[in-house]
Amino acid sequence: MDNCQILKCAVLFALVMAINPAAEAEWSVNTNNDAYYTDDVALFSVTRRLSLKDDPTQPVVDRPAQGGDFVYEPSAELEWSGKNALGKTHLSLDAGGYVFANRSEFTHGLYEFQFAQTFATGTKVGLFYNFVPDLFLGKNLFVQANGAETEHDEKLTNHYWSIHLDQPLSKNLTVRLLGRYGLRNYNAPFQHRDTEFWTLGPHLEWAINTDIELLLGYHYEQGVADHQKTTSFADNVSYVNHYASAELKVHLLERLSGVFIFDFEKNDFTSANPNDEHFGGSENVYQGEIELLYELDETATIKLGWQHGNRKLTTEEKSIKNNNVWLGFEYAF
């Protein structure tokens, strides 16, 4: 995270601290250490972030199937909560990253800042900022305006700002309205792919009973590349995206829980240039995930999971499959 982003977070943190009395404050730290094996290093970050709780509309990876690797994910979340005249305030800063054992060029950081205010009525407003710098997508072919072709590293810096409005409908049912605005900024010579995106969608959280929780969600998103730049290149990555997900958490035994997730995503490319490789194309993504959580005690949890994804571009003959397996440890204090 650069100095400007750190300063912004520090200023907001100071403002919240000034509003809330120190005597009301509660601090906590959550740490995670996860070890993965992935059979496709190019798709790993894309598949891991395909979630209602993260950034499901990662950019299309033009060159998947770049081999497997072991990946280590350390992360820590600092949380602070307190009370003010309006109700309860929550503040958190989450920092982590994916560290690749052999393909170090894919290593990158992940950062998120959250501020939430819960009112006496139960209504909750959450503000989020998510930042991923220098995400390596792999080698890619750059076709110049004169048709000459050269190969370069393709990298992306991603920002998005999000607002969540949560409203309890009953003791067990909460509806959320989500809005996002984001920027995906590419390195040279792929800067014509720079994209702005807007997202809208509802989520529904339902505690069916003490042992079963269900999260359902849908996102509509539009991403628009810089038309002034794309006019010189037949490579417009503008899109309309539909994303739907269902997450079921089941308490299986006294200390054992299972999380079962299914995601579907459809990207329709909106390039109007018949010479564009994306013209009239779309991508369908199907992804499933199973994770088992075993609580050692109130502060420590062991995690074991498997994720399988299937991606198919209409412009390609074959679909691309990706598998991630992991073993992790979560500790809160």
Q: Are strands 195-209 and 173-186 parallel, antiparallel or unpaired?
A: antiparallel
Q: Convert 278-287 to b/e letters by CB count within 10 Å (16 or more is b).
A: beebebebeb
pLDDT > 60? residue 323: yes
CA atoms of 184 and 159, how far apart (whole Å): 7
pLDDT range class, residue 204, cuts 50, 70, 90: very high
The pLDDT of 74-80, averaged and rounded, is 95
Percentages helix, strand, coil for the chain (3-state, rounded to 5) are 10, 60, 30
pLDDT tens for residues 287-296?
999 999 999 9
- Which residues are bridge partners to 251 per DSSP? 257
**Which pTM does this prediction carry?**
0.88
Cβ neighbours for 262, distance < 8 A, ≥ 6 positions apart: 245, 246, 287, 288, 289
The pLDDT of 313-333, averaged and rounded, is 91
- Which residues are bridge partners to 266 per DSSP? 242, 284
pLDDT tens for residues 225-262?
876 666 667 778 889 999 999 999 999 999 999 999 99
Q: Of all residues in the chain, what percent carry a pLDDT higher than 70?
A: 90
State the chain's mean pLDDT as an integer.
89
Q: Are strands 149-168 and 124-143 parallel, antiparallel or unpaired?
A: antiparallel
SS3 4: helix
- DSSP letter (8 states) at residue 80: E
Is the Cβ–Cβ distance between 271 and 239 less than 8 Å? no
- CA dist 320 → 8, 309, 323, 325 (Å): 40, 8, 10, 17
What is residue 144's predicted lDDT score, i.e. its pLDDT? 73
Q: Which of 101, 162, 106 lies closest to 131 in space, CA to CA?
A: 162
Is the Cβ–Cβ distance between 126 and 164 less than 8 Å? yes
pLDDT tens for residues 18-55?
444 444 678 999 999 999 999 999 999 999 999 998 99
Residue 59's CB: how many other CB atoms inside 10 A?
A: 19
pLDDT > 60? residue 5: no
The pLDDT of 83-95, averaged and rounded, is 93
What is residue 225's predicted lDDT score, i.e. its pLDDT? 87
Show the 3-state SS of 287-308: EEEEEEEEECCCCEEEEEEEEE
- DSSP letter (8 states) at residue 62: S
Q: How far is CA 171 from the centre of its chain?
A: 28
CA atoms of 204 and 220, how far apart (whole Å): 15
What is residue 9's predicted lDDT score, i.e. its pLDDT? 52
